Amino acid sequence: MGKYLIKRILQMIPVMIIITMIIFVLLNVAGDPTVNLLPLDATEAEREELRTAMGLNRPLPIQYLDFLGNAVKGDFGNSYRFNEPALDLALARMPMSVQLAGAALLFAVAMAIPLGILSAQFANSPFDLVISGISVLGRAMPSFWVGIMLILLFAVNFRMFPVSGSGTASHLVLPALTLSIQNAAQIIPLIRSNMLSIMHEDYIRTARSKGLREWSIICIHAFKNALVPVVTIIALEIPGLIGGALITETVFAWPGLGQFLIQAIGNRDMSVVQVCIFLIALITLVANLIADIVYCLIDPRIRYE
Protein backbone atom coordinates (compact mmCIF):
# COMPACT_ATOMS: atom_id res chain seq x y z
CA MET A 1 0.00 0.00 0.00
CA GLY A 2 2.72 2.48 1.02
CA LYS A 3 4.74 1.72 -2.08
CA TYR A 4 1.69 1.98 -4.28
CA LEU A 5 0.77 5.31 -2.74
CA ILE A 6 4.23 6.74 -3.36
CA LYS A 7 4.14 5.49 -6.95
CA ARG A 8 0.71 7.06 -7.50
CA ILE A 9 1.79 10.39 -6.04
CA LEU A 10 4.97 10.41 -8.12
CA GLN A 11 2.85 9.67 -11.20
CA MET A 12 0.85 12.82 -10.50
CA ILE A 13 3.88 15.02 -11.08
CA PRO A 14 4.23 14.42 -14.84
CA VAL A 15 0.46 14.66 -15.18
CA MET A 16 0.48 18.07 -13.47
CA ILE A 17 3.28 19.21 -15.75
CA ILE A 18 1.32 18.09 -18.81
CA ILE A 19 -1.72 19.94 -17.48
CA THR A 20 0.30 23.15 -17.22
CA MET A 21 1.47 22.55 -20.80
CA ILE A 22 -2.11 22.13 -22.00
CA ILE A 23 -3.14 25.33 -20.23
CA PHE A 24 -0.11 27.18 -21.58
CA VAL A 25 -0.62 26.02 -25.16
CA LEU A 26 -4.33 26.72 -25.00
CA LEU A 27 -3.92 30.28 -23.82
CA ASN A 28 -0.71 31.38 -25.46
CA VAL A 29 -0.63 29.59 -28.76
CA ALA A 30 -4.31 29.39 -29.62
CA GLY A 31 -4.88 33.10 -29.10
CA ASP A 32 -2.83 36.30 -28.99
CA PRO A 33 -3.23 37.68 -25.43
CA THR A 34 -2.65 41.26 -26.57
CA VAL A 35 -5.80 41.19 -28.70
CA ASN A 36 -7.91 41.19 -25.58
CA LEU A 37 -5.88 43.70 -23.62
CA LEU A 38 -5.70 46.51 -26.16
CA PRO A 39 -8.52 48.48 -27.75
CA LEU A 40 -9.48 47.32 -31.23
CA ASP A 41 -7.93 50.37 -32.91
CA ALA A 42 -4.48 49.86 -31.35
CA THR A 43 -1.63 50.15 -33.83
CA GLU A 44 0.79 47.35 -34.55
CA ALA A 45 3.56 49.32 -32.81
CA GLU A 46 1.53 49.58 -29.61
CA ARG A 47 0.79 45.89 -29.81
CA GLU A 48 4.47 45.10 -30.28
CA GLU A 49 5.33 47.27 -27.28
CA LEU A 50 2.88 45.41 -25.06
CA ARG A 51 4.21 42.08 -26.30
CA THR A 52 7.74 43.07 -25.33
CA ALA A 53 6.54 44.38 -21.97
CA MET A 54 4.67 41.14 -21.25
CA GLY A 55 7.61 39.04 -22.34
CA LEU A 56 5.64 37.55 -25.22
CA ASN A 57 8.50 38.00 -27.67
CA ARG A 58 10.67 35.47 -25.92
CA PRO A 59 10.89 31.91 -27.25
CA LEU A 60 7.90 29.79 -26.22
CA PRO A 61 9.84 27.21 -24.16
CA ILE A 62 11.32 30.02 -22.04
CA GLN A 63 7.91 31.59 -21.58
CA TYR A 64 6.58 28.21 -20.55
CA LEU A 65 9.32 27.64 -17.96
CA ASP A 66 8.65 31.09 -16.59
CA PHE A 67 4.92 30.28 -16.35
CA LEU A 68 5.67 26.93 -14.70
CA GLY A 69 8.04 28.52 -12.17
CA ASN A 70 5.42 31.07 -11.18
CA ALA A 71 2.67 28.45 -11.08
CA VAL A 72 4.68 26.35 -8.62
CA LYS A 73 4.88 29.39 -6.37
CA GLY A 74 1.13 29.83 -6.67
CA ASP A 75 1.52 32.97 -8.75
CA PHE A 76 -0.75 32.95 -11.78
CA GLY A 77 -0.64 36.68 -12.25
CA ASN A 78 -3.30 39.26 -11.52
CA SER A 79 -6.79 39.25 -12.87
CA TYR A 80 -6.81 42.17 -15.26
CA ARG A 81 -10.45 42.83 -14.51
CA PHE A 82 -10.27 42.88 -10.71
CA ASN A 83 -6.56 43.68 -10.46
CA GLU A 84 -6.09 41.18 -7.67
CA PRO A 85 -4.15 37.88 -7.62
CA ALA A 86 -6.14 35.39 -9.70
CA LEU A 87 -5.52 32.53 -7.27
CA ASP A 88 -7.03 34.44 -4.32
CA LEU A 89 -10.09 35.37 -6.37
CA ALA A 90 -10.65 31.77 -7.43
CA LEU A 91 -10.13 30.39 -3.94
CA ALA A 92 -12.65 32.89 -2.60
CA ARG A 93 -15.29 31.32 -4.86
CA MET A 94 -14.51 27.78 -3.78
CA PRO A 95 -16.70 27.60 -0.64
CA MET A 96 -19.85 28.26 -2.69
CA SER A 97 -18.93 25.53 -5.15
CA VAL A 98 -18.10 23.09 -2.38
CA GLN A 99 -21.44 23.88 -0.71
CA LEU A 100 -23.32 23.17 -3.93
CA ALA A 101 -21.33 20.02 -4.65
CA GLY A 102 -21.87 18.74 -1.12
CA ALA A 103 -25.61 19.30 -1.24
CA ALA A 104 -25.79 17.67 -4.69
CA LEU A 105 -23.86 14.65 -3.51
CA LEU A 106 -26.12 14.32 -0.47
CA PHE A 107 -29.24 14.47 -2.67
CA ALA A 108 -27.79 11.99 -5.15
CA VAL A 109 -26.87 9.43 -2.51
CA ALA A 110 -30.15 9.91 -0.64
CA MET A 111 -32.06 9.26 -3.87
CA ALA A 112 -29.87 6.53 -5.33
CA ILE A 113 -29.38 4.18 -2.39
CA PRO A 114 -33.04 3.45 -1.55
CA LEU A 115 -34.10 3.45 -5.20
CA GLY A 116 -31.21 1.18 -6.20
CA ILE A 117 -31.91 -1.31 -3.42
CA LEU A 118 -35.65 -1.32 -4.06
CA SER A 119 -35.28 -1.86 -7.79
CA ALA A 120 -32.90 -4.76 -7.17
CA GLN A 121 -35.31 -6.22 -4.63
CA PHE A 122 -38.21 -5.93 -7.04
CA ALA A 123 -36.16 -6.64 -10.16
CA ASN A 124 -38.16 -6.63 -13.41
CA SER A 125 -41.27 -5.39 -11.64
CA PRO A 126 -43.07 -2.31 -12.99
CA PHE A 127 -41.36 -0.29 -10.22
CA ASP A 128 -37.94 -1.45 -11.44
CA LEU A 129 -38.83 -0.61 -15.04
CA VAL A 130 -39.96 2.89 -14.09
CA ILE A 131 -36.81 3.52 -12.05
CA SER A 132 -34.47 2.26 -14.79
CA GLY A 133 -36.42 4.32 -17.32
CA ILE A 134 -35.95 7.42 -15.19
CA SER A 135 -32.25 6.77 -14.73
CA VAL A 136 -31.74 6.30 -18.47
CA LEU A 137 -33.61 9.58 -19.00
CA GLY A 138 -31.46 11.23 -16.32
CA ARG A 139 -28.33 10.33 -18.25
CA ALA A 140 -29.78 11.51 -21.57
CA MET A 141 -30.77 14.98 -20.36
CA PRO A 142 -28.11 17.70 -20.46
CA SER A 143 -27.76 19.57 -17.17
CA PHE A 144 -28.95 22.91 -18.51
CA TRP A 145 -32.17 21.32 -19.70
CA VAL A 146 -32.76 19.61 -16.35
CA GLY A 147 -32.16 22.96 -14.65
CA ILE A 148 -34.64 24.77 -16.88
CA MET A 149 -37.29 22.11 -16.37
CA LEU A 150 -36.85 22.28 -12.59
CA ILE A 151 -37.18 26.08 -12.75
CA LEU A 152 -40.32 25.76 -14.86
CA LEU A 153 -41.85 23.21 -12.50
CA PHE A 154 -40.82 24.28 -9.00
CA ALA A 155 -40.03 27.96 -9.36
CA VAL A 156 -42.46 29.19 -12.02
CA ASN A 157 -45.44 26.87 -11.56
CA PHE A 158 -45.39 25.90 -7.90
CA ARG A 159 -43.37 28.88 -6.65
CA MET A 160 -41.69 26.64 -4.08
CA PHE A 161 -38.11 27.75 -4.66
CA PRO A 162 -36.45 30.90 -6.02
CA VAL A 163 -35.57 30.92 -9.74
CA SER A 164 -31.92 31.79 -9.18
CA GLY A 165 -29.45 33.47 -6.90
CA SER A 166 -28.00 32.49 -3.55
CA GLY A 167 -28.16 33.33 0.12
CA THR A 168 -30.72 31.05 1.69
CA ALA A 169 -31.03 27.28 1.87
CA SER A 170 -33.97 27.34 -0.52
CA HIS A 171 -31.71 28.87 -3.18
CA LEU A 172 -29.54 25.79 -2.92
CA VAL A 173 -32.27 23.23 -3.59
CA LEU A 174 -32.82 23.55 -7.35
CA PRO A 175 -29.18 23.76 -8.48
CA ALA A 176 -28.21 20.91 -6.15
CA LEU A 177 -31.13 18.85 -7.45
CA THR A 178 -30.07 19.56 -11.05
CA LEU A 179 -26.56 18.32 -10.38
CA SER A 180 -27.70 15.35 -8.34
CA ILE A 181 -30.13 13.96 -10.90
CA GLN A 182 -27.35 13.03 -13.30
CA ASN A 183 -25.27 11.54 -10.52
CA ALA A 184 -28.14 9.56 -9.11
CA ALA A 185 -28.90 8.31 -12.63
CA GLN A 186 -25.43 6.83 -12.75
CA ILE A 187 -25.38 5.41 -9.23
CA ILE A 188 -28.83 3.73 -9.26
CA PRO A 189 -28.09 1.08 -11.93
CA LEU A 190 -24.75 0.42 -10.26
CA ILE A 191 -26.32 -0.28 -6.86
CA ARG A 192 -29.03 -2.33 -8.53
CA SER A 193 -26.65 -4.63 -10.38
CA ASN A 194 -24.32 -4.94 -7.38
CA MET A 195 -27.20 -5.89 -5.12
CA LEU A 196 -28.50 -8.42 -7.65
CA SER A 197 -25.16 -10.21 -7.93
CA ILE A 198 -24.49 -10.09 -4.19
CA MET A 199 -27.84 -11.64 -3.31
CA HIS A 200 -26.60 -14.90 -4.88
CA GLU A 201 -23.43 -15.07 -2.76
CA ASP A 202 -22.85 -17.83 -0.24
CA TYR A 203 -22.83 -15.60 2.82
CA ILE A 204 -26.29 -14.33 1.94
CA ARG A 205 -27.51 -17.92 1.76
CA THR A 206 -25.90 -18.50 5.17
CA ALA A 207 -27.65 -15.45 6.59
CA ARG A 208 -30.94 -16.66 5.17
CA SER A 209 -30.48 -20.14 6.58
CA LYS A 210 -29.83 -18.60 10.00
CA GLY A 211 -33.39 -17.34 9.68
CA LEU A 212 -32.59 -13.64 9.50
CA ARG A 213 -35.29 -11.41 8.18
CA GLU A 214 -34.96 -10.47 4.51
CA TRP A 215 -34.66 -6.76 5.19
CA SER A 216 -31.92 -7.15 7.75
CA ILE A 217 -30.04 -9.32 5.25
CA ILE A 218 -30.40 -6.63 2.63
CA CYS A 219 -29.51 -3.71 4.87
CA ILE A 220 -26.71 -5.29 6.89
CA HIS A 221 -25.13 -8.04 4.84
CA ALA A 222 -25.69 -7.15 1.23
CA PHE A 223 -25.76 -3.39 1.21
CA LYS A 224 -22.35 -2.93 2.84
CA ASN A 225 -20.73 -4.90 0.06
CA ALA A 226 -22.77 -3.32 -2.70
CA LEU A 227 -21.48 0.03 -1.51
CA VAL A 228 -17.82 -0.64 -2.30
CA PRO A 229 -17.86 0.34 -5.99
CA VAL A 230 -20.36 3.08 -5.23
CA VAL A 231 -17.92 4.83 -2.91
CA THR A 232 -15.39 4.90 -5.73
CA ILE A 233 -17.90 6.29 -8.16
CA ILE A 234 -18.87 8.98 -5.67
CA ALA A 235 -15.24 9.99 -5.17
CA LEU A 236 -14.85 10.15 -8.95
CA GLU A 237 -17.96 12.31 -9.26
CA ILE A 238 -16.70 15.00 -6.86
CA PRO A 239 -14.49 16.80 -9.39
CA GLY A 240 -17.36 16.66 -11.85
CA LEU A 241 -19.56 18.29 -9.25
CA ILE A 242 -17.14 21.12 -8.61
CA GLY A 243 -15.68 21.68 -12.06
CA GLY A 244 -18.56 20.33 -14.09
CA ALA A 245 -21.09 22.56 -12.37
CA LEU A 246 -20.11 25.27 -14.87
CA ILE A 247 -23.41 25.30 -16.67
CA THR A 248 -25.63 24.60 -13.69
CA GLU A 249 -24.06 27.49 -11.79
CA THR A 250 -24.68 29.74 -14.77
CA VAL A 251 -28.32 28.67 -15.15
CA PHE A 252 -29.04 29.38 -11.48
CA ALA A 253 -26.68 32.37 -11.11
CA TRP A 254 -24.91 30.52 -8.30
CA PRO A 255 -21.75 32.49 -7.43
CA GLY A 256 -19.31 29.57 -7.35
CA LEU A 257 -16.13 28.73 -9.19
CA GLY A 258 -18.00 27.65 -12.33
CA GLN A 259 -19.92 30.86 -12.80
CA PHE A 260 -16.77 32.86 -12.04
CA LEU A 261 -14.89 30.87 -14.64
CA ILE A 262 -17.54 31.36 -17.31
CA GLN A 263 -17.56 35.09 -16.63
CA ALA A 264 -13.76 35.12 -16.84
CA ILE A 265 -13.92 33.31 -20.18
CA GLY A 266 -16.44 35.89 -21.38
CA ASN A 267 -14.20 38.74 -20.22
CA ARG A 268 -11.10 36.98 -21.56
CA ASP A 269 -9.56 37.30 -18.15
CA MET A 270 -6.98 34.67 -18.92
CA SER A 271 -5.05 34.49 -15.66
CA VAL A 272 -8.32 33.69 -13.88
CA VAL A 273 -9.15 31.04 -16.50
CA GLN A 274 -5.71 29.50 -16.04
CA VAL A 275 -5.95 29.32 -12.30
CA CYS A 276 -9.47 27.88 -12.38
CA ILE A 277 -8.52 25.12 -14.82
CA PHE A 278 -5.48 24.39 -12.71
CA LEU A 279 -7.50 24.18 -9.48
CA ILE A 280 -10.17 21.95 -11.01
CA ALA A 281 -7.54 19.63 -12.48
CA LEU A 282 -5.79 19.43 -9.12
CA ILE A 283 -9.04 18.60 -7.32
CA THR A 284 -9.70 15.88 -9.89
CA LEU A 285 -6.30 14.30 -9.47
CA VAL A 286 -6.54 14.31 -5.69
CA ALA A 287 -10.09 12.94 -5.78
CA ASN A 288 -8.96 10.09 -8.05
CA LEU A 289 -6.16 9.30 -5.64
CA ILE A 290 -8.54 9.32 -2.69
CA ALA A 291 -10.93 7.07 -4.62
CA ASP A 292 -8.15 4.53 -5.07
CA ILE A 293 -7.12 4.68 -1.42
CA VAL A 294 -10.68 4.43 -0.11
CA TYR A 295 -11.41 1.54 -2.45
CA CYS A 296 -8.44 -0.28 -1.05
CA LEU A 297 -9.26 0.52 2.57
CA ILE A 298 -12.91 -0.54 2.56
CA ASP A 299 -12.49 -3.72 0.56
CA PRO A 300 -9.90 -6.01 2.12
CA ARG A 301 -9.96 -8.21 -0.98
CA ILE A 302 -8.24 -5.52 -3.00
CA ARG A 303 -4.53 -5.10 -2.52
CA TYR A 304 -2.43 -2.99 -4.81
CA GLU A 305 1.07 -4.09 -5.57
Partner 1 sequence: MKQKGKSYRMPRWLRMLWRSKTGLLGFVIVSIAVACALFAPWLAPYDPNAINPLNMLKPPAFMAGGDPAFLLGTDNLGHDILSRLIYGARVSMIIGVLSVILAGVIGTAFGLLAGYYGGILDSVIMRVTDAFHSIPRMLLAMVAVTLMRAGIGTLVLVIGITGWITYARLIRSEVLVLKEREFVKAAVTIGTPDYKIICYHILPNVFSSFIVVSTLAVATSIIAETSLSFLGLGIQPPDISWGGMLSAGRNYLATNWWVATMPGITLTMTVLGIMFLGNWLRDFMDPHNQGLE
Residues that bind partner 1 in the complex, under the rule CB under 8 A: 11, 14-16, 18-19, 21-22, 26-27, 30-31, 136-137, 139-145, 148-149, 151-152, 156, 239-240, 243-244, 246-247, 250, 261-262, 265-266, 268, 273, 276-277, 280-282, 284-285, 288
Closer Cβ to partner 1, 112 or 272, answer by number = 272
Closer Cβ to partner 1, 198 or 277, answer by number = 277
CA distances from 236 to 68, 218, 256, 287 (A): 27, 26, 20, 6
Estimate to the nearest angstrom the gap between the alpha carbon of 173 and the chain centroid: 18
Least distance in angstroms from the C-beta of 15 to partner 1: 5
Closer Cβ to partner 1, 16 or 123, answer by number = 16
Closer Cβ to partner 1, 8 or 208, answer by number = 8
Closer Cβ to partner 1, 65 or 110, answer by number = 65
Least distance in angstroms from the C-beta of 88 to partner 1: 20
Least distance in angstroms from the C-beta of 246 to partner 1: 6
Least distance in angstroms from the C-beta of 166 to partner 1: 19
Least distance in angstroms from the C-beta of 127 to partner 1: 18
Q: Is residue 278 a contact partner of residue 19, using CB atoms and an 8 Å limit? A: yes
Least distance in angstroms from the C-beta of 267 to partner 1: 10
Least distance in angstroms from the C-beta of 159 to partner 1: 11
User: What is the 3-state secondary structure of the chain?
Assistant: CHHHHHHHHHHHHHHHHHHHHHHHHHHHHCCCHHHHHCCCCCCHHHHHHHHHHHCCCCCHHHHHHHHHHHHHCCCCCECCCCCCEHHHHHHHHHHHHHHHHHHHHHHHHHHHHHHHHHHHHCCCCHHHHHHHHHHHHHHHCCHHHHHHHHHHHHHHHCCCCCCCCCCCHHHHHHHHHHHHHHHHHHHHHHHHHHHHHHCCCHHHHHHHHCCCCHHHHHHHHHHHHHHHHHHHHHHHHHHHHHHCCHHHHHHCCCCCHHHHHHHHHHHCCHHHHHHHHHHHHHHHHHHHHHHHHHHHHHCCCCCCC
Closer Cβ to partner 1, 135 or 194, answer by number = 135
Closer Cβ to partner 1, 223 or 256, answer by number = 256
